Amino acid sequence: MASYVLRRLGVSLLILLGASFLVYQLVAVSGDPLREYRESNRPNKEALMQARIDLLDLDTPAPLRYFSWLSGAVKCVIPGQCDLGKTLQGQEVTDALSAAIPSTIQLVLTATILAVVIGITIGIVVALRQYSVLDYSVTFMTFLFFSLPVFWVAVLLKEFGAIGFNDFLRDPSVSVTVALAVGLVAGVIWTVLIGGSWKRRGIVFAGSTLLTAGILWYLGWSQWFSYPGLGPGIVAGLGVGIAFALTALLAGLRNRKALYSALIMVGLAVVAMFALQPLLEDPSVWLVILLGIAAVGGGLLVGRLMGGYDRGQSMKVAALTSFLVAGLVLLDGFMQAWPEYFKLTRGRPIATIGSETPNLNGDFWITGVDKYTHLVLPTISLILISLASYTRYSRASMLEVMGQDYVRTGRAKGLPERTVVVRHAFRNALIPLATIVAFDIGGLLGGAVITENVFSFKGMGQLFIQGLDHQDPNPVMGVFLVVGVTAVTFNLVADLLYSALDPRVRVKA
Amino acid sequence: MTEQTTERMTDSLDSGEVAADLKGKSQGALVRKRFFGHTGAIVSLVVLALVVILALTSVGIGGWHGWWKFRWTDTPPLQNGGRPTLSLFPFSLGEHPFGQDSVGRDYFAMTMRGTQISLLVTFVVGVIAAFVGVVFGALSGYFRGWVEAVLMRLTDMVIIIPVLLIGAVIGYNTKSGVVVLGLLLGLTYWTGMARLVRGDFLSLREREFVDAARLAGASDKRIIFKHILPNAVGVITVNTTLLMSSAILLETSLSYLNMGVKAPDTSLGLLISQNQAAFATRPWLFWWPGLFIVLICLCINFIGDGLRDAFDPRQRKISLRRMKETPREEIDNRLEGSLLAANVATLDGARSGWEDGAPGVGHDPDPRDETK
């Protein structure tokens, strides 16, 4: 095993060396680094050109220049000794990278996690209802999303998601017709999703249409869009819903211990909401993370104390419930900061470009809201284009697993359908997906370049494109190094993960 | 009672049909039949053909001017602020069906020209990438050993080179035109195909019919071309389609970043890039090229889906009712009969990339072979 990993790492290193050499040469032939001076009429043109030649060391041929870059890059193995050169603007590439990487990771990570969760959920649901209306409509939608050019979607999102929504927020009231129209759409979606007999479909359609329209109209009427918030009542209500849903899904409602431990966690969360009020006035990021961990830990503890024949299930359900309810509490906090943020941005809260509002001073909640309003559009466009593949993969994988003999055995020995689907089929359907996700994470860091460019999001993509525009090899190579190393590492991780998850696949040393 | 009997009768008829359409037909005929049974794919094929014909005949190619009255370079005077004159009820094209851009150029002609270029690049990328991918995959999968090691490491290297960089290089040296652009993009886009074909060859070369051919004294060349390649044609066809659908997105993205096709020539991506700032004042400049990209890409994806269903009988629609009536073994045997050898690696099933209309072209999570 160890020797296999070592060998793979060695080969990867050689691949990286070769690829970086190629990339360096490609940057060198991708344009004329002196073009901006050649076209200028400035009197000191010659001197400027000479300075640029010296700066980029253009008198040395590119293949040789590569080695001087390499001698600096090799030092990156020793921490703190990294020397990736300077950008044309004189900034250390390592500094530029360390500023760019976090924002790219934030963007990519949020988008990937959401796309994976949503995509797998849709794929599984669709696989369980193969060849239904739902299946066909989802298949069509995934093909449509998959055919969308990201820059086109991005412009549309800017226009309708940001500018349109901001205009709506100026006078956030919902007319009855609009509410009904949205309600009808929601009704159709729910009907297709739930299915069943015609009577049931009718009830679902009417119910969900009226409910959605009513809620929407009420939210508009009560100025909720200007002063949003959840309050303990709604948090508790949603929490109970989450508790029931998760128990039904993961343990079955007949497992009372799991249900009670989840409900206890909801109660505790609402109590904590009041008890921690002063602490949550202006928390630090670490405090929030700590509270999240505490929520999960508390759930595990309560589930364990509830005992019973299957403690694991109670623990899982309680921990997940309390984590989600803690998320709701957090959301409530951000919502309460909304009116102030709305004022700070002069009524245009959803941003179309950039990764943060310049010169914004605010507490944890304000800066948090600011971050999310900037992240929301790029994240949506990334999700839209990557959702399709996850849906297709998980559908195919789930269909394959559902046809396996052990699923039939499970049914034959009388297991409830929930157990067959969740415990026997779902878990095994995730195995091929795990490798795909690992691959994608490796590729994603470099994959957000266009999205970042369209939204002027200051990340690695920007660094890369700007470097490329000026034939400046150092930032390009820096980004390439980060992306390449992640790609190679995650390829290895994907392979190891696969053999760990599926013991039939052996890694032979 | 009567109802039940009828149902049973139809069922036996149905299963008779299953037998009938699997018996006595060549592989190609079966695939064709299944493909033509896929409504979405047929509709897409027709739509795509219409788009291609429209793009080629309207503004013409080479010296031929086509039937449309304007060229994409003409600048007739602006009419009505350049608004589109297309109306569907009653149908009339009007002077400028897609409107005019800010200097008055006819946007229909420009979009058609852009479609031509984008399709051309897509086609070239598809052909080149498929060719290189198949050669690399076939050689490394068949010969294994050092050939495989070298070729696959080369593949790994090409995978991590950012495509944008290639785009930038071509964008700078692109005096040579769009065919070169397609050619070079194709030369970096074959990696997914190579991995998939290699996987397929790896499983096919262990099959009995290959052993039989070898024992009969067939040369390597003959085994590859006569025995293995025809069995891998499903994977190759489906993947080429999917590759083309992502190639059109790649080309438009590159042109959007000013790295692919450059003015004065035009492409769908470049049109969007040039006009995105005008969204508030002239939204049609933004809508038409985008709609054409989505239309073409959607069609190609559906065709790929239809091809996959046609080549991959495991995903066939066999209703559960029929399955219950026919003994399981019989169905299995029938399926086996029609099963392309290409798909036998069941473990690879969900992951082999062509299970999916996804960018699976890049995925080859097949650690079993990597880790021997």
Question: Do residue A250 and residue A298 come from a single domain?
Answer: yes
**Structural domain boundaries, residue A490:** 2-98+442-501
pLDDT for B89: 73
Secondary structure class of B238 (helix, strand, coil): helix
d(C-alpha A104, C-alpha A379), whole Å? 11
Neighbouring-strand partners of residue B92: B87
Whether the pLDDT of residue B323 is over 70: the answer is no
In chain B, what is the straight-line distance between the N-terminal and C-terminal CA atoms, in Å? 60
Chain B residues touching A470 at Cβ < 8 A? none
A405 and A468 co-located in one domain = no
**Is A473 found in the same domain as A370?**
no
Residue A189 within any structural domain of the chain? no
**Separation of alpha carbons B65 and A391, rounded Å:** 45
Least confident of A85-99, A361-375, A409-423, B313-327: B313-327
- Mean residue pLDDT of chain B comes to 76
Same domain, A85 and A234: no
Between positions 243 and 302 of A, the ones with CB within 8 A of B are: none
Does residue A470 belong to the interface with chain B, where contact is any CB pair within 8 Å? no
Residues of B in contact with A12 (CB under 8 A): 156
Q: Which residue of A has its CA nearest to B154?
A: A15
Query: How far, in Å, CA of A133 to CA of A130, rounded?
Result: 9
Co-location of A369 and A455 in the same domain: no
Residue A98 has pLDDT above 90, yes or no: no
Q: What is the pLDDT of residue A130?
A: 82
Nearest-by-Cβ selection for A144 from B269, B298, B362 = B298
Backbone angles phi, psi at B87, to 5 degrees: -135, 140
Element (H, E) at B177: none
Which of A19, A443, A491 is the closest to B157 by Cβ? A19
| pLDDT beyond 50 at A448 | yes
How many separate domains does chain A show?
Answer: 2
Across the interface, whether the CB atoms of B153 and A14 are under 8 A apart is answered: yes
User: Residue A465's beta-bridge partner residues?
Assistant: none
pLDDT at site A425: 92
* Tokens coding A303: 């589930």
Q: What is the pLDDT of residue B175?
A: 63
Burial of B301 (0-12, 13-18, 19+ CB in 10 A): buried
Q: What is the pLDDT of residue B314?
A: 59
Q: Which residue has the tokens 């390439």?
A: A480
A329-351: pLDDT as tens digits: 999 888 988 888 888 888 788 88
Tell me the C-alpha distance between A326 and A294, whole Å.
10
- A27·B302 Cβ contact <8 A: no
For the residues A73-101, what does the mean pLDDT come to? 79
Query: Is residue A282 in a domain?
Result: yes
Domain shared by A229 and A356, yes or no: yes
* Joined tokens for residue A20: 């970086």
Domain boundary among A394, A422, A450: A422
For the stretch A366-415, pLDDT in tens is 888 888 888 889 899 888 888 888 998 899 899 889 888 999 999 999 99
Q: Is A444 in contact with A114 (CB distance < 8 Å)? A: no
Average the pLDDT over B170-192 and give the result.
80
Mutate to test the interface with A, among B151, B153, B160 (most CBs of A within 10 A): B160
| pLDDT confidence bin for B320, thresholds 50/70/90 | very low
Residues A83 and A53 in one domain: yes
Q: Are residues A410 and A323 in the same domain?
A: yes
Distance set, CA B100 to CA B71, B83, B145, B248 (Å):
12, 7, 60, 25
Chain B interface disruption, residue of A146, A495, A502, most B CBs within 10 A: A146
- The β-bridge partners of A92 are A86
Q: Report chain B's C-alpha Rg in angstroms.
A: 25
Query: Higher confidence at residue A232 or residue B134?
Result: B134
Residue A507 lies in a domain: no
Neighbours of A17 (CB within 10 A): 12
Residues 6+ away with beta carbon under 8 Å from B110: B72, B101, B266, B271
pLDDT of residue B356: 32
| Residues of chain A found within 8 Å of residue B347, distances taken between Cβ atoms | 504
User: What's residue B109's pLDDT?
Assistant: 87
In angstroms, the CA A256 to CA A400 distance is: 33
Measure CB to CB from residue A146 to each of B257, B279, B357 and give the nearest one: B357
Q: Is the pLDDT of residue A307 over 90?
A: no
**The token pair that represents B28 in the structure block:** 């190609």
| Domain residue ranges of chain B, discontinuous segments joined by + | 39-311
Helix (H) or strand (E) holding A217: helix A198-221
Q: Is A385 domain-assigned?
A: yes
CA pair distance A490, A76, nearest whole angstrom: 19
Q: Do A149 and B294 touch (CB under 8 A)?
A: yes
CATH architecture of the domain B39-311 equals: Orthogonal Bundle (1.10)
Q: Tell me the three state secondary structure of residue A457.
A: coil
H-run or E-run covering A67: helix A62-74
pLDDT at A328: 92
Tell me if chain B has a CB within 8 Å of the CB of A188.
Answer: no
Q: Which of B16 and A415 is assigned the larger pLDDT? A: A415
* One domain for residues A18 and A127: no
Question: If you measure CA to CA, which chain A residue comes closest to B297?
Answer: A147
Q: Which of A143, A144, A469 to mutate to test the interface with B (most CBs of B within 10 A)?
A: A143
Q: How many CB pairs under 8 A join A and B?
A: 171
A353 and A447 part of one domain? no
Examine the pLDDT at A450 and tell me if it is beyond 50. yes
Residues A16 and A139 in one domain: no
Residues 6 or more apart from A130 whose CB is under 8 A from it? Answer: A399
Q: Note the pLDDT of residue B332.
A: 53
Instruction: Report the residue from B161, B302, B365 with minimal CB separation from A435.
Output: B365
The 8-class DSSP code of residue A355 comes to: S
Q: Which of A468, A470, A493 to mutate to test the interface with B (most CBs of B within 10 A)?
A: A468
Q: Are residues A484 and A359 in the same domain?
A: no
Task: Establish how many alpha carbons lie within 13 A of residue A20's alpha carbon, considering only the half-sphere containing its beta carbon.
Answer: 30
Q: List, as one string, the DSSP characters of A262-317.
A: HHHHHHHHHHHHHHTTTTTSS--HHHHHHHHHHHHHHHHHHHHHH-STTHHHHHHH
